[in-house]
Structure 1
Amino acid sequence: MTSLNAGVIGVRLVISLFIQRLLAEIVGEAGIAKIGSLRNLLEMLSSFASIGIFSGVVKYVAEHKDDKEQLQKLFSTTFVFTAFGSLTVFLILFFGSGYLSETIFDSPDYVYLIKLLAVIVPFISLYRIFNAVVNGLSRYKKLAGIDFVSYLLSAALTVVLLLTHNLDGALIAIAITPALQFFVLLFIFIKVLREYIQFSKLTFKIPMAKSLLAFSLMSFFSTVLLNYVEIDIRVMIQNRININDAGTWTAMTNISKNYMVFSGAIFTLYVLPKFAGIHNKTDFKAELLNIYKTLLPLFGVGMLLIYFLREYVILIIYPDFHGMSPLFKWQLMGDFVRLASLVLGYQFLAKKMVKNFIFSEIISLGLFYFFAYFLTDIYGVEGVVIAHFLRYVVYFFVVLFLVFRYFKKQQKTAE
């Protein structure tokens, strides 16, 4: 699975480098900052539109894939949730487009973009749910194919619209990418979806509402608040320093997100279903060490290479983004600790440890917000990536304590 995923991600990285270079040359730092805000908004919408139940669907599909009755209950509940979420988000985006344009992009010029997103919302929610089914069934090859084809199409669309309509074209391409992803997934995976989802028997009943709402709550803190904080910090950099530095920080996070995509796919395809089936401390520790021994050395070597070749990376991708070099050290160290933390943190999702998950996310986001605002006055934009590193060091130890406290309680209950 790792090898297959690595191949797809490798091709994506090459294409992404080309597109990022093109964007940097055509739209500059200010444009990169606006694109960053749009991507943050799309992440928030993917959670809101599907009521944040992606991880819940992955978990329950993995657990009940041979139980048609339970699956029907799951998908009926999911259908109601996504219908409600999509309608609500559509109304907010369409009628609040002016306010959102000013708040997110600091300009009234992007009302059209917010309204376009309102139309795309149903595709965002359906893609999110169907993608969760693919993950829950652990169909690695299918998922790799969906990911690869949809990325190629969205990349081609981005390049064409960027060259013909500049920044507006790039924003439109990014906004309609979820619709492309949805149709590609449907084309490749429709037979399997029909096998597991009896569309004609879906009802407006919500028998698994309580179980899935726990994941909604967790998604709100992990996805919605995180992206809101990133938008707010980008606006803070723009106001306290300038929009070019906001674009420089966004470019650094873009590089980070490109290599962290690999870990994200591994987590949902392997770690979450695996942890869901582990119920004692011994097996958990063995699996955790196995994942660490496999992933951390690979990422460690990769991150060292990126650090020592950072000047070439900047020259290739963001040639005119002066001031990026000092950001690499803190961003890479923070991402390495983040990777180790996220592996542990998936136990919260696997075991539906809602309170622990929310507590750790509040700590993480609160520290990032506080450190970023405090350190920016001292170190400028570098203070934001220092905050990123400090936040995940604390987060790692908090999650480590909470996970092993859970197993200690389980052991006492069993006795």
Structure 2
Amino acid sequence: MKIPEFIRANLLLKVTSLNAVVISIRLFISIFVQRLIAELVGEAGVSKIGQLRNLTELLTSFSSLGVFTGVVKYVSEHKSDKEQLQKLFSTVFVMSLLGIVITSLVLFFGANYISEYLFVTTEYAYLIKLLAVIVPFISLYRIFNGVVNGLSMYKKFAKIDIFAYLASAGLLVYSLLEYNIDGALVAIAITPIIQFIVLMIIFFKVLKEYIQFSKLSFKTPMLNVLLAFSLMSFFSTVLLNFVDIEIRSMIIDKITEADAGIWTAMTNISKNYMVFSSSIFTLYVLPKFAGIYSKSEFKTEVFSIYKTLLPIFGLGMIAVYFGREYIIQLIYPGFDSMSPLFKWQLLGDFVRLATIVIGYQFLAKKLVRSFIFSEIVSIGLFYIFAYYLTNEYGVEGVVMAHFFRYVICFFLIFYLVIRYFKKQSKLQVEDLNPEDDE
């Protein structure tokens, strides 16, 4: 009984243990789906799917104007203040409406160009136009998901996540078997509709408690504070996915489309275990950091998170590394050239996890300049390292770039966070000891 009691007493462990169940189910399904994709469409098909997934992640930020983190932060801070929440959601829906209109128009009228850019053919212009119609669902799902995270309703989050994943995976498998790569791409494109429907079924009653839909106005009282999060989202989600698309295109140009598929497959495996941490950051870390104002409290919380998460992830990654050949044969049979990529990818992901934890302070305290600077450095280093290392090491150079980039970024972000607390401490001292006017 000691272990369950310890878990119940520790919110982070409660979120982590619940996520373990969800991720285990997702992982099992993902293994089956990814193997099926690998067998039916090969490396080239995996590359195309990677391009589309990066595009949909771009749209997730564009269509809602990047307000997700702002929603999480202010819902967690003002969950009992109905008036403040009304100001927040009125602003959010005006911003999302603007994002939806602009994004849909760009997709619809730029379908041929976008298809050519992503897939080196206009054959998939119809897919881009389909996404233009689906954009409203992408935007609303992102906003409502922010409410779930802001309220730290990790049990409801787990239900939404698993049911939406099961439904979308089922659709993907059916479409893949019936229509091959075209069916798979269409299934991925309409997944946001499934996610939105599942969220509304499970979460609508709670949403009505916090969002008074009938009283939403076209006013934007919180526009300035949310624009800061929009800017941060642009430099994280948008630029990151854009660089992923560019790197995949670079691999195709410099090496082959098959190698681009190998790298995409490696990142897919990485995402399978890294998704375990992403929900923890938004459900636990962000709301927690938002309420911490002293360096000592911050250090205590960071060390607590490190002690809880890093050993779990470290052991898991060691197991993945030594079982890599089995994993390749299980998920991506025939993708044997992926094996050398594991070492660098796993090392990079471990350092990335440690980096993201302290980096969430930028989001929690809305440190826009520090966040943007660190993101530009991170994304810039990744592209530059990848570009030059592929000349010498081929596709392995891309995962080497992934590791080198996060080692540098860890120390950079650590320095920026420490500098922030030093400035805060200095300001507090000045407030307590104001200088005489004489």
Instruction: Look up the match of 2:269.
Output: 255
Q: Deviations along 1:344-400, whole A, 9 cap, x unmatched?
A: 110000000000000000100010000000000000000000000000000000000
Instruction: Look up the match of 2:5.
Output: none
Instruction: Look up the match of 1:91.
Output: 105
Corresponding residue pairs, total: 415
Query: How far apart are the structure 2 equivalents of 1:323 and 1:410?
Result: 50
Q: Which amino acid aligns with 2:426?
A: K
TM-score by length of 1: 1.00
Deviation at 1:267, TM superposition (A): 0.2
Residue of 148, 151, 164 corresponding to 1:150: 164
Residue of 426, 429, 433 corresponding to 1:412: 426
Q: Deviations along 1:69-111, whole A, 9 cap, x unmatched?
A: 0000000000100100001000000000000000111111100
Instruction: Look up the match of 2:381.
Output: 367
Instruction: Look up the match of 1:283.
Output: 297
Instruction: Look up the match of 1:324.
Output: 338
Query: How far apart are the structure 2 equivalents of 1:109 and 1:397?
Result: 45
Instruction: Look up the match of 2:222.
Output: 208
Instruction: Look up the match of 1:221.
Output: 235
Query: How far apart are the structure 1 equivalents of 2:173 and 2:303?
Result: 42
Deviation at 1:322, TM superposition (A): 2.7
Query: How far apart are the structure 2 equivalents of 1:141 and 1:306?
Result: 28
Instruction: Look up the match of 2:251.
Output: 237
TM-score by length of 2: 0.94
Classify the secondary structure of the residue corresponding to 2:152. coil
Query: How far apart are the structure 2 equivalents of 1:303 and 1:215?
Result: 32
Deviation at 1:26, TM superposition (A): 0.2
Residue of 299, 321, 343 corresponding to 2:313: 299
Q: Which amino acid aligns with 2:121?
A: S
Q: Deviations along 1:330-356, whole A, 9 cap, x unmatched?
A: 000000000000001100000000000
| 2:169 aligned with 1:169 | no
Residue of 260, 265, 276 corresponding to 1:246: 260
Residue of 397, 401, 411 corresponding to 1:383: 397
Q: Which amino acid aligns with 2:350?
A: F
Larger Cα-atom Rg: 2
Q: Which amino acid aligns with 2:415?
A: F
Q: Deviations along 1:175-227, whole A, 9 cap, x unmatched?
A: 10011000100010111100100000000000000000000000001000000
Q: Which amino acid aligns with 1:285?
A: K
Query: How far apart are the structure 2 equivalents of 1:265 and 1:149?
Result: 16
Instruction: Look up the match of 2:147.
Output: 133
Q: Which amino acid aligns with 1:112?
A: Y
**Which runs of 5 or more structure 2 residues have no equivalent in the other structure?**
1-14, 430-438
Q: Deviations along 1:142-174, whole A, 9 cap, x unmatched?
A: 110000100000000000000000001110111
Query: How far apart are the structure 1 equivalents of 2:171 and 2:361?
Result: 38
Q: Deviations along 1:27-75, whole A, 9 cap, x unmatched?
A: 0000000000000000000000000010000000000000000000000
| 2:285 aligned with 1:271 | yes
Deviation at 1:2, TM superposition (A): 1.2
Query: How far apart are the structure 2 equivalents of 1:29 and 1:167?
Result: 12
Deviation at 1:230, TM superposition (A): 0.4
Query: How far apart are the structure 1 equivalents of 2:71 and 2:362?
Result: 15
Q: 4+ residue stretches of structure 1 with deviation over 6 A?
A: none
Classify the secondary structure of the residue corresponding to 1:21. helix
Instruction: Look up the match of 1:43.
Output: 57
Q: Deviations along 1:229-248, whole A, 9 cap, x unmatched?
A: 00000000001100000000
Query: How far apart are the structure 2 equivalents of 1:359 and 1:388?
Result: 18
Instruction: Look up the match of 1:396.
Output: 410
Instruction: Look up the match of 2:3.
Output: none
Query: How far apart are the structure 2 equivalents of 1:306 and 1:207?
Result: 48
Query: How far apart are the structure 2 equivalents of 1:146 and 1:361?
Result: 30
Q: Which amino acid aligns with 2:392?
A: I
Query: How far apart are the structure 1 equivalents of 2:27 and 2:225?
Result: 37
| 2:384 aligned with 1:345 | no
Query: How far apart are the structure 1 equivalents of 2:23 and 2:327?
Result: 18
Query: How far apart are the structure 2 equivalents of 1:105 and 1:341?
Result: 33
Instruction: Look up the match of 2:329.
Output: 315
Classify the secondary structure of the residue corresponding to 1:250. helix
Instruction: Look up the match of 1:60.
Output: 74
Query: How far apart are the structure 2 equivalents of 1:310 and 1:76?
Result: 49
Deviation at 1:5, TM superposition (A): 1.2
**Which runs of 5 or more structure 1 residues have no equivalent in the other structure?**
none
Instruction: Look up the match of 1:80.
Output: 94
Q: Deviations along 1:292-343, whole A, 9 cap, x unmatched?
A: 0000000000000000000000010111113100000000000000000000
